[in-house]
């Protein structure tokens, strides 16, 4: 992929960028394949906030679409929440220049948040819920079959530790999610990608970024603490963060203590019957319980 943002790079910089781009494309493709995120004929709504993550998601998906063995459509969708100072022409100008189909939703959720949330309190939680509701409705009205969000590996791990430390649950952000209404499928194609790679990619591609703090909200201090904790671990123990992420894909319910996921009472019936593998399954009912309130419990700002 060549454009004015990359043509000025030196030979070594171009080589490094090509490696970075290939890595992001490969990891995104792997996540899509592993979780069956996109199917032939899908109409994918890429939620574009103007931040580095959503820009990178759109850029990578747009490139993969051109070489994919299946056909799917991409529509970039931005929600203009009427925040004071929001540069409303930035995204339309960028998307028009790239010839990417897009839709802009205008809904004043900012005023609702400012009216409901006390001064000095973080607005991210309510803002996220309102935004999600608007986007879900838009997806239904415009025939979108998948809703793509820009959360990456680090977001997933930060959410895991937020829920562990503050929520008392072992849960994170799933790469693929069915909404509470069973109407929408949400996908996170960047689930395998590192935030530092996305940072580097966005800088080189020179995306016209829009800051997330136009509303004046306080930073999500708990999430920032998780981010710093993971960075410190990776600095002192290289590879630890990747190991933790792999653990999310290698869960053994029989080695935990959740009776809804594993039938500990049935173990007695296996005594004296020789060594047999214990089947660890999650029933449809359990899946519904796990999915319930997923959207409301995820703590994210983006």
With respect to residue 171, please indicate whether it lies within any of the assigned structural domains.
yes
**151-178 pLDDT per residue, tens:** 999 999 999 999 999 999 999 999 999 9
103 part of a folded domain: yes
Confidence of residue 289 (pLDDT cuts 50, 70, 90): very low
Q: Is residue 70 part of a domain?
A: yes
Q: What are the Cα distances from residue 105, in Å, to 108, 186, 256?
A: 10, 19, 44
pLDDT surpassing 50 at residue 298: no
Residue with the bigger pLDDT between 219 and 84: it is 84
Q: Is residue 232 part of a domain?
A: yes
Split at pLDDT 50, 70, 90, the class of 96 is: very high
Q: Is residue 289 part of a domain?
A: no
Residue 254 lies in a domain: no
The pLDDT mean for the chain works out to 87
Q: Answer yes or no: is 4 within a domain.
A: no
Q: Report the CATH number at residue 92.
A: 3.40.50.620
Distance CA 132, CA 114 (A): 17
Whether pLDDT at 36 is above 80: yes
- Residues 47-77: pLDDT tens digits? 999 999 999 999 999 999 998 999 999 999 9
Of 94 and 9, which is predicted with more confidence? 94
Could you tell me the pTM of the whole model? Answer: 0.84
Model pLDDT, residue 213: 62
Domain-located, residue 67 = yes
| Structure-model confidence comparison of residues 281 and 265, the more confident one | 265
Calculate mean pLDDT across residues 90-116: 91
Q: Is residue 266 scored above 60 in pLDDT?
A: yes
Q: Domain tally for the chain? A: 1
CB of 139 closer than 8 Å to CB of 187: no
* Residue 193, pLDDT score: 98
Instruction: Tell me the residue range of the domain where 26 lies.
Output: 11-245
């Amino acid at each position: 992929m060549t454009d004015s943002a990359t043509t000025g790079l030196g030979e070594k910089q171009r080589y490094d960028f090509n490696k970075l781009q290939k890595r992001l494309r490969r990891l995104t493709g792997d996540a899509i394949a592993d979780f069956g995120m996109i199917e032939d004929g899908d109409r994918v709504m890429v939620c574009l906030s103007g931040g580095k993550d959503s820009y990178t998601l759109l850029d990578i998906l747009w490139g993969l679409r051109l070489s994919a063995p299946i056909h799917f459509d991409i529509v970039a969708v931005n929600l203009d929440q009427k925040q004071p100072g929001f540069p409303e022409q930035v995204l339309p100008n960028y998307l028009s220049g790239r010839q990417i189909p897009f839709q802009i939703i205008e809904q004043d959720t900012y005023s609702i948040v400012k009216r409901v949330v006390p001064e000095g309190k973080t607005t991210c939680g309510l803002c996220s819920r309102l935004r999600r509701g608007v986007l879900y409705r838009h997806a239904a009205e415009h025939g979108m079959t998948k809703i793509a969000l820009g959360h990456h590996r680090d977001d997933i791990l930060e959410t895991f530790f937020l829920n562990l430390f503050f929520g008392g649950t072992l849960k994170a952000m799933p790469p693929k999610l069915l909404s509470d209404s069973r109407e929408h499928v949400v996908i996170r194609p960047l689930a395998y990608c590192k935030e530092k790679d996305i940072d580097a990619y966005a800088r080189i591609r020179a995306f016209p970024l829009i800051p997330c703090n136009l509303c004046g909200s306080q930073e999500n201090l708990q999430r920032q603490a998780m981010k710093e904790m993971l960075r410190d671990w990776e600095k002192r123990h290289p590879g630890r963060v990747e190991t933790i992420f792999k653990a999310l894909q290698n869960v053994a319910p029989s080695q935990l203590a959740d009776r809804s996921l594993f039938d500990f009472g049935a173990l007695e019936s296996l005594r004296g019957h020789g060594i047999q593998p214990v089947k660890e399954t999650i029933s449809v009912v359990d899946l519904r319980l796990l999915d319930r309130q997923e959207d409301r419990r995820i703590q994210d700002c983006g």
